[in-house]
Amino acid sequence: MRRSDVNDPTVFVVDDDAAIRDALSLLISLKGLRSAVFATAEDFLNTYCADWRGCLLTDLQMPGMQGLELQRTLAERAIALPVVILTAHGDVATTREALKNGALDFLEKPVDDDVLVDVLRNAIHVDEKRHRAADEHMQALERFARLTPREQAVLQLLADGLQHRDIAERLKISPRTVEVYKSRMMEKLQLRTLADVVRFGSGAPHSTN
Amino acid sequence: MNRAALTLSSSARSWLRIHDYRFGLPIAGLYFLAYVLVDALSYVQPVLRLDICPWNPETALTLAFLLAVGPRGLPLTALAAFTAEGLVHGMPAPWWALLVASVWIACGYTALALIMRRWGLPHPIESPAQAMRLAGAVMLTSFAVAVGYVTLVTLGGALPRSLAIGAIARYWVGDVIGILTLVPLLMYADRWRSGLRALRRGLPIAALQLGVVALTMWLIFGLNQSDQVRFFYLLFVPVIWITLRWGVPGAILSALAIQIGVIIAVQHDMHAPELVDLQFLLLTLSLTALLLGAVVTQRADALQRVATSEAEQRALLATAPDAVLTVSSRGWLCSANPEAQRLFGIDPLIGRERALQDLLPSFELLSAHGRAAIDGRRIDGSGFPAEIAWARLEAPATAEYLVIVRDVTERRRAEVQLRERERALSDAMRFAVAGELASALAHELNQPITALVSYLQACGILAAPLAAQDTRLALTLGKATHEAHRAAEVLRRLRDFYRNGAIKREPVQLSALCRAIVTAFHERLQCNAITLAVKLPAVLPSLQSDVTQLEIILHNLLANAIDAVCQQPVDRRRIELSVDSSTTAVMVRVRDAGPGIAAEVAHKLFEPFVTTKMDGMGLGLAISRSLLRAQGGDLLYEPDASDAGACFIVHLPLDPKAQARKVARIMSCGEAT
């Protein structure tokens, strides 16, 4: 895997069976997705980097570290990669355990290619959505940090639903000054309407009170 | 002098014969005094003041003493005889002759005592042969003693040669009668209690008999007539009567009583005839009574033995658990014991003659003895399987054959049940093996099929650009994919067939089940000297499970444990089967003191085809765990740290239905996702 490709969404396949690994990665790449294969759970964990995107497709029954254990280790290391389980028919108890532990979905062997691609795309989509949400949150935090303490306070109180007059009274400034802070704050945060302000404010960290 | 061990015969009964009595001065003195005293009392009608009397009870005393103490008593008896010569008779002959004679007497009776002890005498006389033998030995010894004594005193010049023959006869009859009237009495000395009891029961008749004897004695001696000897024969009548009634003891006592009576009569009655004549008559009487008494005693013993044996046989027949029949030569029933009456439904009150043919229709008594398994038939016509044994009876028996019949209905039924149970178990075991094989096979084949399906689908995508040239390629790949899916589907159905086999839920008596399994292994455990400890709690919560499957599982675990401990030294051949319970589950533990399980095997112990045995398939544990998990339970392995053995735990939830519902719910959630 080339280093530059690392941030593109990839399906990480973990299976002890070489043929299954090979066939799945071929099929996945033909369906237009990137894939990377690992023979054991340990291999995957040793190679893993924090900026990997995509999803994990793992077998349950493997020599050495089993699928469930891998899932547990991921949780311990706070790796939020969505997990799709490859399961043999009838392995109910383990599948149930995996789903309880937060696996996104499971695929039954042998896998139909359309189902496979649907599930994997969905998993990648979930991963992307989560990353996008995390990114937006980060940006909001950055922009919020650019506000002065007064602007932050005005934003907070507006989000709590207070009128300009009440805010002025609470902050012991004139309503006119509140207007100034508000327009400067909205400019910095690139917010257009009051509704945007309330939405941003309720998501923002409560630095005061 | 040690108190020892001249134990002569194992049939020792009389106190006289148990061992040589240690005799100190008191016993010696007592014998000595008694000898001299009795000699003085019985010094009646001697020949020329010599100790040649027609009644010598002191000789009996000597013989009894020698019988008790053995040859060690010889010097004392010689001394006693010599002293009596001096004190009682006043040295009627030269001292040396009397001294030698005394030693001769002592030697003679010591020899007799030794011979009697060799024969196991004295103990109560039980047969005429014994009585004859005793009498013969006494007569011969006494004759030798008499000849020696008389010869010595004749040589000493105390007795004229002309009187020697008469003296020998007198001396001889005196000793013989003295011994025969007193020594047998000693043989009964340790039975005096039972004798007294018997006497108390027959006191009137004993008194009457004594009266008759006294009357006869009076007839002989009291009527003051000449020629009384003729009347002496009258005594035979009461003596025979007494002997017939009382056996040997009666004979001895009556002879003794008559002897004493005769002595008294002779001492006090001037009309008494020559005592020696009477003594010969009395000897005849005593011997006759003794022999007759022996016959009577023998007969009484024989009757007693027959009665005992008959009573035992009656009890045996009455309590026998088998039917016992006796059959006449023409095939008619002679007798049937209570069990036979019960088994065949014969009413003993309805005295109809029955043929063996009615009871055992397909049976004919042809050989002298044998065994057979045939059908019996009751009087009401119903049949039952029976085992019989028969034997031809010996001549004195009135019946020709003895036939023993045992009803084996229960045993047959138990055998059939056992066979059915075994078949069910082996069916279930085969099913479980097939299931495990199918499951393992399905898993192994599913892997390549999965790869195959993915490869084919990849090919389909790769071949898409060529589809315009030849549509058959895409079509063929589609078909190939379909077939691979079909193969996977077959495997899935195969596994489902075994996996979802209906699990019976029935109440399980776990304690009884454990005991039954232990019983089934009883022989293997014994053959290999294995100790199996079974620990069952008094109370177990009620359990719902599949009994046959549980049996398979416990059977597997116990068989494994036995294989494990068999390679161990005998003191480590221990297995423990214990059951305990919590609020949610019951645990059955099978712990063995075998070599344990190597760590590299332990983690894959429950996978199919993993085995540590040379001839094992490696399916037992895998099947057991699969079966338990399907029931909502589990099978766990616990290495035994302290004892280096292995412990398997069967975990059975108390409410497996709830567990199963939970599984079903999770499954449906999973599929909906």
Q: What is the pLDDT of residues B361-373, one digit of tens each?
A: 888 877 888 888 8
CA distance A62 to A52: 23
Picking from A16, A31, A96 by the largest number of B CB atoms within 10 A of its own CB, the best residue to mutate is A96
Sign of CA dihedral B225, B226, B229, B234: negative
DSSP per residue, B255-294: HHHHHHHHHHHHHH-TT---HHHHHHHHHHHHHHHHHHHH
| Percent with pLDDT over 90 in chain B | 12
Predicted confidence (pLDDT) at residue B53 exceeds the cutoff of 80: no
Q: Is A8 helix (H, G, I), strand (E, B) or coil?
A: coil
Predicted confidence (pLDDT) at residue B615 exceeds the cutoff of 90: no
pLDDT value at residue A118: 93
Length of chain A in terms of residues written: 209
Confidence tier at B643 by pLDDT (50, 70, 90): low
Using a CB–CB cutoff of 8 Å, tell me whether B673 touches chain A. Answer: yes
Predicted confidence (pLDDT) at residue B407 exceeds the cutoff of 70: yes
| Percent with pLDDT over 70 in chain B | 89
The mean pLDDT of A129-135, rounded to a whole number, is: 86
CA distance B407 to B376: 8
The mean pLDDT of B534-560, rounded to a whole number, is: 85
pLDDT value at residue B489: 86
Nearest partner of B388 among B405, B400, B401, B375, judged by Cα: B405
Residue of higher predicted confidence among A5 and B58: B58
pLDDT value at residue B352: 65
Cβ A13 vs Cβ A36: under 8 Å: yes
Size of interface A-B (CB pairs under 8 A): 88
- Inter-chain residue contact B495 with A90, CB threshold 8 Å: yes
Residue of higher predicted confidence among A90 and B169: B169
Lowest mean pLDDT, pick from B59-63, B109-113, B663-667:
B663-667
pLDDT value at residue B6: 38
Using a CB–CB cutoff of 8 Å, tell me whether A162 touches chain B. Answer: no
Picking from B436, B454, B491, B499 by the largest number of A CB atoms within 10 A of its own CB, the best residue to mutate is B454
The mean pLDDT of A51-65, rounded to a whole number, is: 87
Give how far Cα B661 sits from Cα of B103, B227, B421, B631, Å: 113, 125, 31, 11
ipTM rounded to 2 decimals: 0.75
pLDDT value at residue B21: 58
pLDDT value at residue A82: 92
The one-character DSSP state at B360 is S
Chain B: residue nearest A29 by CA? B458
- Inter-chain residue contact A109 with B488, CB threshold 8 Å: yes
- Inter-chain residue contact A23 with B455, CB threshold 8 Å: yes
Average pLDDT of the residues of chain B: 82
Picking from B450, B493, B498 by the largest number of A CB atoms within 10 A of its own CB, the best residue to mutate is B450
Q: What is the pLDDT of residues B204-223, one digit of tens each?
A: 999 999 999 888 888 887 77
Cβ B509 vs Cβ B551: under 8 Å: no
Distance from CA of A105 to the nearest CA of B (A): 7
Sign of CA dihedral B461, B463, B469, B471: negative
pLDDT value at residue B429: 80
Q: What is the pLDDT of residues A63-93, one digit of tens each?
A: 778 888 898 999 898 888 999 999 876 677 7
pLDDT value at residue A3: 43
Lowest mean pLDDT, pick from A103-112, B185-194, B405-414:
B185-194
- Inter-chain residue contact B462 with A30, CB threshold 8 Å: yes
Sort out which chain A residues have CB atoms less than 8 A from B491's CB and list them.
89
- Amino acid occupying residue A35: S
pLDDT value at residue A159: 83
The mean pLDDT of B157-171, rounded to a whole number, is: 84
Residue of higher predicted confidence among B132 and B43: B132
Sort out which chain B residues have CB atoms less than 8 A from A84's CB and list them.
none
Average pLDDT of the residues of chain A: 84
CA distance B364 to B382: 20
Sort out which chain B residues have CB atoms less than 8 A from A119's CB and list them.
none
pLDDT value at residue A2: 42
Picking from B447, B604, B625 by the largest number of A CB atoms within 10 A of its own CB, the best residue to mutate is B447
The mean pLDDT of B120-133, rounded to a whole number, is: 79
Phi, psi at residue A86, to the nearest 5°? -95, 125
- Inter-chain residue contact B450 with A106, CB threshold 8 Å: no
- Inter-chain residue contact B461 with A30, CB threshold 8 Å: yes
Using a CB–CB cutoff of 8 Å, tell me whether A39 touches chain B. Answer: no
> Given B439, B443, B484, which is nearest A110 (Cβ)?
B484
pTM of the predicted protein model: 0.48
Residue with tokens 């002779």: B266
Phi, psi at residue A87, to the nearest 5°? -130, 145
Provide the chain A residues 80-139 that lie in CB contact (below 8 A) with chain B. Answer: 88-90, 92-93, 95-96, 99-100, 105-106, 109-113
Sort out which chain B residues have CB atoms less than 8 A from A100's CB and list them.
666
Distance from CA of A208 to the nearest CA of B (A): 43
pLDDT value at residue B7: 38
pLDDT value at residue B545: 84
pLDDT value at residue B14: 41
pLDDT value at residue B4: 38
Predicted confidence (pLDDT) at residue B481 exceeds the cutoff of 70: yes
